[in-house]
Structure 1
Amino acid sequence: MGDWNLGLGTLREVVLSRLADLLDNPKCGWRQLADAVSMQPQFRCSEKELMSCSLQVLSAKGSPSRSLLAMLADRNCSLGFLLQCLRKIEHREAVQYLTSTVMEQIRITVHPQSQKIPEGGRLVLNCQGSGFSGLVYQWFKGKEEVLSGNSPDLVLGPLSQDQQGYYICRVSQGDSFVFSQWAHVTVIQPSSSSSGSSSSFFPSSVSGLHITQQPQDLAIAEGDCLCLECKAEGNPPPQYQWYHNKQPLSPANKPNLMIPCVTTADRGKYSCRVYNLYHEVWSNQAHVEIGPGFCGPSWDESDEGFTPCPARQLSNFYATDKVALLMGNMNYQHHRQLRAPMADVHELTNLLRQLDFKVVSLLDLNRQEMHSAVTEFLLLLDRGVYGLLYFAGHGYENYGNSFMVPIDAPASYTSEHCLWVQDVLQRMQERETGLNVFLLDMCRKRNLNDDIIPQPGPLKVTANIVFGYATCVDAEAYEVNKDDLSNGIFISFLKQRLLEDEKVTVMLDRVAEDMGQCEITRGRQALELRSNLSERRALTDRIQCTDCPAATSARNLQWAIAHVLPESRYLHFDCGVKVQLGFAAEFSNIMIIYTRIMDQPKDIISCTAQLSDFSEGVDVDLKLTNQENLQDAGSLLFDFEAPPRPEMKKLYTRLRALQRLKKELTFTVCLQYQYTNMDEEVQEKQTVSVGKPLVAKLNLHEPRLPRSFSASSSSDLHTFSLPESSSFPEGLESSVPASETSSIGSASTCWSYYPHLGEVSGHSKQVNVPEETFSPEFLEGDRPQPLSAESKSLPHDCLEDLSFQFRTKQNFHSC
């Protein structure tokens, strides 16, 4: 039973928050409670304290009741006295909630498991309890307490025979306690005849987690029950978490996943994260296809009943790979600035990565950089690959030809200053891709300055092209300005449909219907589709390896080499201060650097590490450098669940336009500190070089070779060869078999820029690392968290309820 003598501070935060919600009302709330607790002088609140509680309403998440409860907890108010006061003010709902919460017995959620461990090995037993905060754990072997066992995990090793036996854990809080189940630990002596027998017999106790049964692909009908299973062995015993399309399912923390009566919304990719205290592994992805309901009962004479028709089979179409180039131009030199491309490219990147696309995301490119980026993108394409190109920015269309406008286009620009979409399409087709998707989020008004009618070369007869224009011919595309972030109308609707497992044209048709049903877009902007797609190809189609693994490995290396972040490093200064440098990618050409003081002598009272003197070419706004939060540093896309601890403050600096970096990135770390017995600050400096991070390795500022993309081109992935003496970056080497070592083409025409291979050696840890993830040190809690755009983007279901300011994505001074 619950212990009413425990302090108010022992309640979990979720319980305190719920109590505060119940007390945040004027008739029977926190003020009445404050009067009731004043019967004991130590809990009496002053007028100043009551005013402080009252002022909490001025904060968005402030709660007067929560503030009062915190004061009572600091004064060691017991749960019994709080309950007595709640009864006095006749707050029945709060009394019932507190009673049911406190009276709840402590429960064991994870019991220790019996194990067989080889002699000399390490034993890890785990027990988890729920109930009050501050639970106390005690471990026993038989009736004897294990002196070192005072935490949820009991770790013993190296094991000897006298440690064999039965173990149990006691979980307590005050007078309340509960025991776990017994766990039998058997210590096995290694066989003298076989030197490796014990390790082979107990692989999980030596090598961590091991998945013994993988989830399998399924094709079922609507209304059926979905059942997936993942089994694993490990020491400590494994725990499970299931994911659907890379989003965690709740509750889904058992080896078996069961979803009754599925709908088409349940189709997609399922995987299971298996983990324990020391290890983590992921299962294979299981592709689940949800077909239409039963086609009608049919009579089977051999059975006594009806038999449903067989479930629809998985799609026969697949991609040999998926690559995407996303370009967003905002900060034009001679034209009106745009705001939406940053958020649009960011959100589309996150969605495409969920569909296993290799994504290159770039902001603010001039003509040369756009041309080079497209050329590099085409080198990632090959037979059967799905290619997607998205552009957001200013644009126009003349005589059926569309043009993307770079940021350096002059005031009266023509086609010679822009990128010709139809030319890119023709070059794309020459790569014999399985699917070409163009998404153009730009205006299609006439450009009166341009009277040239370009003539594209003949297109191949390939039924694999899909055009999605954000607006109709001779119309404008709009963005929606709201708060700090903006969204384009097109992406606001597309992001609601992109992950649907439908033929790509069907998915885009639904986007068009959504736009047509919205009041604010009707008559302003309508999606236009052009397609010659004759097969049911979808962006959700699986990737299936080709008969040329060397080409696949080369493509992986091509993409990954341009998304390598510098490793986190530590700088040691003469005064004894240790500074950490960390790096994160916001886009493929935008990087964030943070500094953090990790250690400082006791006689130093203040200490900061700031960045300065950046190498030429990188775009840095000095007013936004060395900021205490990411928003002040110019980044609007990062969202953290909890602020860093005060003692772990960071300073952030955002570097843009990395594609223009011609030399290695260098900067100075300036350490400013003050001793306790000195009034003046002291400075120390260190110069740091981190090579060419992210897309800087591609040298997009350099002109590319004339276009020639025939199958016999020297840049074709199937014809690559690499001398045996060549060295791959650490972590990427394993993706290319030794017998199939592949080059990546010439340094000037491929994603990997090999003249400076030393720049990236040791930085990349895996081939397919997304570019928009943190290095492990970037977040508190010692593990990276997924990035997410702030909730200021335009929600699909609220479009008609908001007032917006429209801005066009086209600007002609002569119009």
Structure 2
Amino acid sequence: MEEGTVSIGTLSEHVLNRLSKMLDNSTCGWRQLAGAVSEQPKFRCSESELTSCSIQVLSAAGSPGRTLLARLADRSCSLDFLLHCLMKIDHQEAVQFLTTTASEMIRITVQPQSQQATVGGRVVLTCRAAGPSGLSYQWFRGKEEILNEMGNSPELVLCPLASVHQGHYICRVNHGENCVFSQWAQIQVVHSAGSSPGTTPLTLLLSLSTLFPGSLSGLRIIHQPQSQSVSEGNTLLLECKAEANPPAQYVWYHNTVPMPQHKTSSLRIPFVTTAQRGQYRCKVFNLYHEAWSDTATVTIGPSSITDASWVEVDRGLATDKVALLIGNMNYIYHTQLCAPIADVHELTNLLRQMDFKVVTLLDLNWQEMHSAVTEFLMLLDKGVYGLLYFAGHGYENYGNSFMVPIDAPASYTSEHCLCVQNILTRMQEKKTGLNVFLLDMCRKRNPNDDVIVQTGLLKVTANIVFGYATCADAEAYEVKREDVSNGIFISFLKRRVCEDEKVTVMLDRVAEDMGRCEITRGRQALELRSNLSERRSLTDQIQTSECSASYSARNLQWAVAHVLPKSSYLQFDCGVTVQLGFAAEFSNVMVIYTRILDKPKEIISCSAQLTDFPQDVDIDLKKSNQETLIEAGSLLLIKENLPSPEVPSLYTRICSLQRLKTELTFTVCLQYTYSNMDEEVEERKPVTVGKPLVSKLNLHDPRPSRACSLNLESLKVPECSFTSVSSTSNTWSYYSHTGRQSSTTDAPTSSRKANVPEENDSPEMFDAPKPLVASKSLPHSQVNDTNYKFSDMYNFHSY
């Protein structure tokens, strides 16, 4: 079978999951792919099928991209056509990954064919496969394996042919735990005195093997590439040589990514930089064989003109990546903001694609912000990449930046706010690999604050990056829309943040994009401050081999604070069954929905509404128990059509879960009417669901000024931070992902998925959410639109 005819269905589950993570984004993802594959009618998805893909985000293991790939596999879509469509939408990451995967997977190139031969004759069944080196073959007749030596080669020779050889044959090609079966071939034995024409005597086959041994020889690597350290500016030279007949071809790989420009036995790169560090392998192949070289690790040291005793250690690899995103909108004594909810949502999607563990929190007061930062610092350790993003009101005095909580008084000072430089000092104590601060706030001077804050002494490091949404003594702006608003900074940042570039290079490009925007010119300009001397990128891989205990401890602590209550089924006395489900929109925002799953025929109407919530949480009673998500206040999900109109749902959105001091309790109030009665009947059931999501952190409690480190030796929670993994423990967590999603962060394994509300239940009957689209998030193409002018004070607001 040629590569072009290999179906998507032959891809392993691991490959499909990784590919789906790359497709689970709104800018260049599964929706764009669905449009591209529609050029062939049999792959065109209906509106209901697209809706079915969309609602997968509401499941903890759901993935729209994985669902789309499954549909394409069911319709026998080939890898060749999938690659064509990925190239069409310019999804370079997915194209590179799938190209590499296709070159490494087992593919049957020659299938065994059914044959008919006479008794005493000779039959040769041939099965050949391409793929990684070290393929092995197993032949079966029916269910019985052929155990002789011929049963372990690509060619199965049946000679002399006898009646017992008649039957169906199949070949299994193995590589490690992976295997592929050939098609079935039937052998029919005909009883005749003559011999079958066209057969080749075994003696002739042996003679050919003796006369032409090279024709049966394999491919052998005789010189392996060697690990080495090269100084910046010098030349990197790697060599891989092989003996093969026909002659071998070569393709070099850097960190598993093919280097198509290097197709000789020697890899030569002049004037290397830190971008060339990493692992190199060479794939050697010819028409019949394929082999991989050993892995050569290349480290890039300082320039030869500098002190040679400087040794590069742990460059370009993170031991982990964690992020805290805070968006403050509903200020008590100050102007209300609109953009932080969408900005935090979109940045979370992008960071999670780069394997960041992300916690998203909306509308925090001073105590909650202080506690959240303290808990965030506990997750940091040596080599960890830490990122803090804040969207809200802010100011800058005497070179120090201050984030304003929602409860700050009208004439606030530094004592009512959080000083960013103090947080940086505490981060440095953790010996982090990279500290990134993205501050989407105003930097005007605060006339009410004349105190010069004495921050801790900063250490001399080369790992700090500040990305300010605006310049010193200037304001940051947001574009106000009827539904979802965006800040100017995130509108440009989201187009660049996933680029595999040094952080400072990426932010420089964001600044250039903002500079070309007419409406921001002279009003708002990104300012970058950095002492980063190494090529550190937000896309750097996580390397846990040397810090596995630390990584495990963080993941253990990460595993609790985003646990949703389990979906439950309530049985009422009248015979009505109500499903109670939960979905996470942010780390401190949850949606509860109710569905009537079953009711007696004599009940003509009924609804299950939620009431009696504790006063700690924030619930808009006017928007509770609504028939659509958007009516319930969930602006990031837009319900188009219910998959099952006969099973409607009611939605209630609960905010400020970080203020929940006890277990969450509420009442499910079932109201129903019998066919022979005019009066409405009511039944009530109390429900307790524990402490969901971030409420387990108890952010309302004061924290010590310094957070202690993880006890990595025992992998237990340190006494000063967490006492147990329970409803009262103070820990961050991740959403477990097997195929995918969570609202805040990836699982311990590498994953990339959008931060969209997700539920803990099967999504087949849930409403179809729609991710933020370009028209709602101020893309670059619309930033230049003349509809947005700073003179229009209704649309533009500063932080």
Counterpart residue number, 2:721: 749
Describe the SS at the equivalent of 2:343.
helix
**Does 2:715 match 1:716?**
no
8 Å Cα contact 1:328-1:345 kept in structure 2: yes
**Alpha-carbon spacing, 1:213–1:185, altered in 2? closer, same or farther (3 Å):** closer
Counterpart residue number, 2:26: none
Counterpart residue number, 1:518: 517
8 Å Cα contact 2:342-2:485 kept in structure 1: yes
**Alpha-carbon spacing, 1:461–1:335, altered in 2? closer, same or farther (3 Å):** same
Query: C-alpha displacement at 1:553, in angstroms?
Result: 1.4
**Does 2:611 match 1:615?**
no
Counterpart residue number, 1:188: 143
Query: C-alpha displacement at 1:458, in angstroms?
Result: 1.2
Equivalent of 1:803, from 778, 787, 791? 787
Q: Quote the Cα distance in structure 2 between the aligned partners of 1:493 and 1:664.
A: 41
8 Å Cα contact 1:467-1:529 kept in structure 2: yes
**Alpha-carbon spacing, 1:755–1:659, altered in 2? closer, same or farther (3 Å):** closer
| AA matched with 1:770 | S
Counterpart residue number, 2:247: none
Describe the SS at the equivalent of 1:485.
coil
1:585-734 superposed matches below 5 A: 585-639=584-638, 642-707=641-706, 709=707, 713=708, 715-719=709-713, 721=714
Gaps in structure 1 of 5+ consecutive residues: 1-99, 103-125, 132-165, 167-183, 192-209, 215-229, 238-285, 722-741, 811-815
1:189-208 superposed matches below 5 A: none
Q: Quote the Cα distance in structure 2 between the aligned partners of 1:467 and 1:758.
A: 29
Counterpart residue number, 1:462: 461
**Alpha-carbon spacing, 1:127–1:388, altered in 2? closer, same or farther (3 Å):** closer
| AA matched with 1:745 | P
Query: C-alpha displacement at 1:646, in angstroms?
Result: 1.0
Describe the SS at the equivalent of 2:569.
strand
| AA matched with 1:674 | T
8 Å Cα contact 1:639-1:790 kept in structure 2: no
Counterpart residue number, 1:584: 583
Measured against aligned partners, the alpha-carbon deviations of 1:127-149 in whole angstroms (never above 9, x if no partner) come to 96799xxxxxxxxxxxxxxxxxx
Equivalent of 1:792, from 772, 776, 785? 776
**Alpha-carbon spacing, 1:370–1:231, altered in 2? closer, same or farther (3 Å):** same
Counterpart residue number, 2:4: none
8 Å Cα contact 2:591-2:652 kept in structure 1: yes
8 Å Cα contact 1:776-1:784 kept in structure 2: no
Q: Quote the Cα distance in structure 1 between the aligned partners of 2:601 and 2:476.
A: 59
| AA matched with 2:379 | L
Describe the SS at the equivalent of 2:666.
strand
**Alpha-carbon spacing, 1:760–1:309, altered in 2? closer, same or farther (3 Å):** closer
Q: Quote the Cα distance in structure 2 between the aligned partners of 1:750 and 1:758.
A: 5
Query: C-alpha displacement at 1:802, in angstroms?
Result: 4.3
Q: Quote the Cα distance in structure 2 between the aligned partners of 1:395 and 1:785.
A: 33
Describe the SS at the equivalent of 1:467.
strand
Query: C-alpha displacement at 1:461, in angstroms?
Result: 1.1
Describe the SS at the equivalent of 1:598.
strand
Describe the SS at the equivalent of 2:334.
coil
Q: Quote the Cα distance in structure 1 between the aligned partners of 2:700 and 2:328.
A: 16
Q: Quote the Cα distance in structure 2 between the aligned partners of 1:236 and 1:601.
A: 53
Of residues 388-397 and 569-578 in structure 1, the stretch that sits farther from structure 2 once superposed is 569-578
Query: C-alpha displacement at 1:676, in angstroms?
Result: 1.1
**Alpha-carbon spacing, 1:287–1:608, altered in 2? closer, same or farther (3 Å):** farther
**Alpha-carbon spacing, 1:465–1:523, altered in 2? closer, same or farther (3 Å):** same
| AA matched with 2:340 | P
**Alpha-carbon spacing, 1:235–1:785, altered in 2? closer, same or farther (3 Å):** farther
Query: C-alpha displacement at 1:576, in angstroms?
Result: 1.1
Q: Quote the Cα distance in structure 2 between the aligned partners of 1:754 and 1:657.
A: 20
Query: C-alpha displacement at 1:718, in angstroms?
Result: 2.3
| AA matched with 1:510 | R
Query: C-alpha displacement at 1:560, in angstroms?
Result: 2.3
Query: C-alpha displacement at 1:189, in angstroms?
Result: 7.5
8 Å Cα contact 1:612-1:669 kept in structure 2: yes
Q: Quote the Cα distance in structure 1 between the aligned partners of 2:329 and 2:377.
A: 24
| AA matched with 1:334 | Y
**Alpha-carbon spacing, 1:290–1:479, altered in 2? closer, same or farther (3 Å):** farther
Query: C-alpha displacement at 1:770, in angstroms?
Result: 2.5
**Alpha-carbon spacing, 1:776–1:534, altered in 2? closer, same or farther (3 Å):** same
Gaps in structure 2 of 5+ consecutive residues: 1-39, 43-71, 78-113, 115-138, 147-171, 185-253, 279-314, 744-755
**Alpha-carbon spacing, 1:395–1:539, altered in 2? closer, same or farther (3 Å):** same
1:452-491 superposed matches below 5 A: 452-491=451-490
Measured against aligned partners, the alpha-carbon deviations of 1:541-588 in whole angstroms (never above 9, x if no partner) come to 000114342321120122221111111111111111111111111100
Describe the SS at the equivalent of 1:482.
coil
Describe the SS at the equivalent of 1:631.
coil
8 Å Cα contact 1:698-1:751 kept in structure 2: no
**Alpha-carbon spacing, 1:211–1:636, altered in 2? closer, same or farther (3 Å):** farther
Counterpart residue number, 2:108: none
Counterpart residue number, 1:22: none
Counterpart residue number, 2:534: 535
Higher RCO, Cα 8 Å, sep 6+:
2
**Alpha-carbon spacing, 1:633–1:545, altered in 2? closer, same or farther (3 Å):** same
Q: Quote the Cα distance in structure 1 between the aligned partners of 2:402 and 2:41.
A: 64
Query: C-alpha displacement at 1:430, in angstroms?
Result: 0.5
Q: Quote the Cα distance in structure 2 between the aligned partners of 1:635 and 1:345.
A: 14
Q: Quote the Cα distance in structure 2 between the aligned partners of 1:211 and 1:320.
A: 38
Describe the SS at the equivalent of 1:377.
helix
Counterpart residue number, 1:371: 370
Counterpart residue number, 1:564: 563
Q: Quote the Cα distance in structure 1 between the aligned partners of 2:643 and 2:373.
A: 40
8 Å Cα contact 1:405-1:419 kept in structure 2: yes
Q: Quote the Cα distance in structure 1 between the aligned partners of 2:572 and 2:630.
A: 29
Query: C-alpha displacement at 1:512, in angstroms?
Result: 0.2
Query: C-alpha displacement at 1:500, in angstroms?
Result: 0.4
Query: C-alpha displacement at 1:754, in angstroms?
Result: 3.7
Q: Quote the Cα distance in structure 2 between the aligned partners of 1:497 and 1:687.
A: 48
Describe the SS at the equivalent of 1:630.
coil
Of residues 552-561 and 349-358 in structure 1, the stretch that sits farther from structure 2 once superposed is 552-561
1:64-75 superposed matches below 5 A: none
Q: Quote the Cα distance in structure 1 between the aligned partners of 2:529 and 2:492.
A: 18
Query: C-alpha displacement at 1:644, in angstroms?
Result: 2.9
**Alpha-carbon spacing, 1:641–1:357, altered in 2? closer, same or farther (3 Å):** farther
Counterpart residue number, 2:742: 770
8 Å Cα contact 1:628-1:649 kept in structure 2: yes
Counterpart residue number, 2:356: 357
| AA matched with 1:525 | Q
TM-score by length of 2: 0.60
8 Å Cα contact 1:362-1:587 kept in structure 2: yes
Q: Quote the Cα distance in structure 1 between the aligned partners of 2:75 and 2:760.
A: 29
Give the root-mean-square deviation of aligned CA atoms: 4.0
8 Å Cα contact 1:376-1:750 kept in structure 2: no
Q: Quote the Cα distance in structure 2 between the aligned partners of 1:684 and 1:492.
A: 49
Measured against aligned partners, the alpha-carbon deviations of 1:348-404 in whole angstroms (never above 9, x if no partner) come to 001000000000000000000000000000001000000000000000001101100
Query: C-alpha displacement at 1:499, in angstroms?
Result: 0.7
8 Å Cα contact 2:624-2:651 kept in structure 1: yes
Counterpart residue number, 1:780: 764
Describe the SS at the equivalent of 2:646.
helix
Query: C-alpha displacement at 1:757, in angstroms?
Result: 7.0
Query: C-alpha displacement at 1:639, in angstroms?
Result: 4.0
Q: Quote the Cα distance in structure 1 between the aligned partners of 2:183 and 2:451.
A: 71
**Does 2:413 match 1:414?**
yes
Describe the SS at the equivalent of 1:648.
coil
Describe the SS at the equivalent of 2:499.
coil
Query: C-alpha displacement at 1:717, in angstroms?
Result: 3.9
**Alpha-carbon spacing, 1:232–1:319, altered in 2? closer, same or farther (3 Å):** farther
Query: C-alpha displacement at 1:490, in angstroms?
Result: 0.3
Measured against aligned partners, the alpha-carbon deviations of 1:619-673 in whole angstroms (never above 9, x if no partner) come to 1111000000010000110145643321121100000000000000011001111
**Alpha-carbon spacing, 1:604–1:412, altered in 2? closer, same or farther (3 Å):** same
Q: Quote the Cα distance in structure 2 between the aligned partners of 1:448 and 1:234.
A: 76
